[in-house]
Structure 1
Amino acid sequence: MSKKALTKIHVAIIIVVFVVAALGAYAWVNFFPLGPKENEVRVGVLTPLTGAAAYFGEGQKAMALWMADRINKEGGIKSLGGLKIRVIIADTEGKPEVGKAQASRLITEEKVHVIIGALHSGVTLPAAQEAERYGIPFICETSSHPDLTRQGFKWFFRVWGSDAIFARNYFEFMKWLKETKGYEFRTIAIVAEESLFCVGVATEWEKLNLDSTLGGYQIVANIRHPVSPTDLTTEALALKQANPDIVLLTVTPIPSAILWTQALKQVNFFPKALLTCGGFIFPEYLRSVGADGEYVIGREGWSIDLMEKKPIAKQIAEAFTNETGKDMTVYTTTMHAAFVVLRDALERAGSLEPEKIRQALIETNIPGDKIIPPWQGIKFDATGQNIYAMNFMVQVVKGQWRIIWPKDIATVDVIFPAPSWNERAG
């Protein structure tokens, strides 16, 4: 056979090989695709359904499922052809190692497109690290430790504020009490349980007190105690002996808030103002302590008073409670905000590619009338922190948390100084 004929045969063979390869690739892609066709938006929600914070987690679970159902009934994500959202709930148990494992499972096994969570700061950090490692957007609904936005994360976006922001709100409130209301006080005590969240809050209070424009008070007691204590009489006696004008107190579990109230009454001490953070603000607290909860002050992201101030607060709160039977709390409020952010980002991304969702989150600019908290809106800075997040201050008046600060949304005047236990008995 001539050399020319062999060359023609070689060319023909090469052409056949290419055609077969192309047909094979076409058949493989169409009949044996590399991955499942996306017919839903999978959202992983990390929250504690067991452990001390299960009450909060159950509320968050209810809000996440309720919001997904609401979005789906309204046509799903329209820019994605009406894809529906499927929420996958993962119980963190309030434990960092469990939260990390659950985040990894949601990403590698459930193939979620976005994670929302995880309530506890100590759980959120390792979970967010997993999301960062895999390049999955993480919307933080509530966790407030300042370090969460100091990690240099690219995929982390916090709807809620940081402890640094909220601690400042306490000192701004105290400054307002002195300058606007004319009340005098010079000494404070700082009390915290030994959890990451509460120690973080207490640390921020200590830092702010060094700022002479906001603080400068004499700290006469600085107390730490274990998480979920069984008795707080010793700590309450220490407060009574120090006799501060104002007590700044942060605990997470509701039982600890109840125990503190009982201990303060037992030793017959109540400061001019008891400024609390954590477990005091939830409905179970007031249901348990009754009238003994009067005059306690706390920071909030939710109050029934908001229903008078914002139409969307009334609309969402009434529908959610009626349809789920769950209480509105700050944690359900922030979960609602997280889903507002999620929906907005997905609509603008028009894709389930992680990077496109991340870019949409970076460009978030949601107006205040779309969310429940009385914020200007939601917009993230370079660290992923919502620049508009803040708290308002509330006080228990006649059995209900009422807004007392800032003035433009206050519904009642602050009661200061608070009556002593003896004065209440009289």
Structure 2
Amino acid sequence: MRTSVGAAGVSRLPLLILLLGSITAIGPMSIDLYLPAFPELTRSLHTSESMVQLTLTACLVGLAIGQALIGPLSDAIGRRKPLLVGMAGYAVASVVCALAPSVEALALGRFLQGLAGAAGAVLAQALVRDLVDGPMVASILSRLLLVMGVAPVLAPTLGGQLLGLTGWRGLFWVLTAFGVIMTVVVALFVRETLPHERRRSGGVAGTMRTYRQLLGDRRYVGYAAISALGFLTIFGYVSGSPFAYQEVHGVSPQVFGLLFGLNSIGMVAASQWNARLVLRSPSFQILRRALPFTVAAGLVLLLTTATGWFGLVGLAAPLFVLMSSLGLVLPNAGALALNRHPESAGTAAAMVGMTQFVVGAVAGPVIGALGAATAVPMAGVIAGGALGMAVIVLILAPSERTTRGSVEAGQEAEREAAPLLH
């Protein structure tokens, strides 16, 4: 197993997981905190549901572009500097959002938020890949999901409570404060993990060669596509659930926040189970066994929203199963992709993240264009993403070989990691 290459040694790995999880939480915080404010934003800025959802899409597009730029840059100059600049830029972009006079200005601020916040999304994964190899990548990514999972649990609930006190602008001032705190955290505690001898040069031409190499790897592309479609289901849920719960079923912003948080708890709990499973079973095997639950939940959700069966329960129950199963699917898909190209971890993580947010960005406009008066568009996007993942797994399955060596490597990694992660 690769150990630390810098001052952030293996003995500090639990602290590093906590710090990186908090930094990565900027993405979920940006997306989830203002979800309960969607109906208020529509009224306050005198705009439509689709335009409000466009502000979410703008953030996702910024996250995608930012990762495409920051990932290769970090392979060339190291991880710490891009991360520090990204966190500071995020705080400034949040101020732009808080002061936005129109939905168009808010969309611009959200794009800038995503562009800067992408540093946390991509570099946390690259830092993990700098430090460890093999099954431990999936295990630590699952641990990161525990820390960053607190954000989607708390953010909608906190947003719903703050909404009545501060209005939607106050939510973005909260994100400003979070960005400032994370800038200080990075400056004080995050140290460089990529030594000069492992950095990649070559400028734009070298970056393009690396991207071509990644795109030429069929299995890497397949794992990245599974991650992307997993995020399509998540963002279909994220962009459609505020209207599905509040407009279609009439729940309050506070109750919506609690239901949203419950689903996040299910996803986080499954990811922590996965952190132990990957040290005993191959990642692809776990992914393949979890995916049928994702597909079944997506199809049941489509049925219940189309027919109205079981009312609110018919909406909430399959969403809980779906989100919980993704806690097993997504960490393994991401780890399988990163393990294919350890020599260019920043670019590999950027490609995975970029495709995740590009595909996820489609969900909001599609659901908004089809209308907020029904939950069927949201369910259709979710079911489509789940079925797409299943097709890719079937294509990849013949080339995957479950060997005894991979399980033994996981058991050895568990023994090495035991004093660090348990």
Give TM-score scaled by structure 1 length.
Answer: 0.28
Largest Rg, 1 or 2: 1
| Structure (1 or 2) with the greater helix fraction | 2
Q: Which has the higher contact order (CA 8 A, sep 6+)?
A: 2
Higher strand proportion: 1
The TM-score normalised by the length of structure 2 is 0.28
